[in-house]
Amino acid sequence: MFQSYEPAVKLIQTRARENKKQGYKELAIGSVFRMLRDNSAFSLFGDYPLLGIAVDEIQKAGFEVRRSALFKVMRQSAELSWLSQKDRIALTNQLLGVRY
Query: Is the pTM higher than 0.75?
Result: yes
| pLDDT(98) > 90 | no
Task: Give the per-residue pLDDT at 2.
Answer: 62
pLDDT tens, position by position, 32-82: 999 999 998 898 899 999 999 999 999 999 999 999 999 999 999 999 999
pLDDT tens, position by position, 55-65: 999 999 999 99
Cβ burial 59-97 (10 Å sphere, 16+ → b, else e): beeebebeeebbbebbeebeebeebeeeebbebbeebee
Integer Cα distance of 31 and 27 in angstroms: 8
- Give me the numbers of helices (H) and strands (E) for the chain, helices first please: 5, 0
Task: Give the per-residue pLDDT at 100.
Answer: 56
Radius of gyration of the CA atoms of the chain, in A? 13
Across the chain, what does the average pLDDT equal? 93
Cβ contact 67:92 at 8 Å: yes
| pLDDT(1) > 90 | no
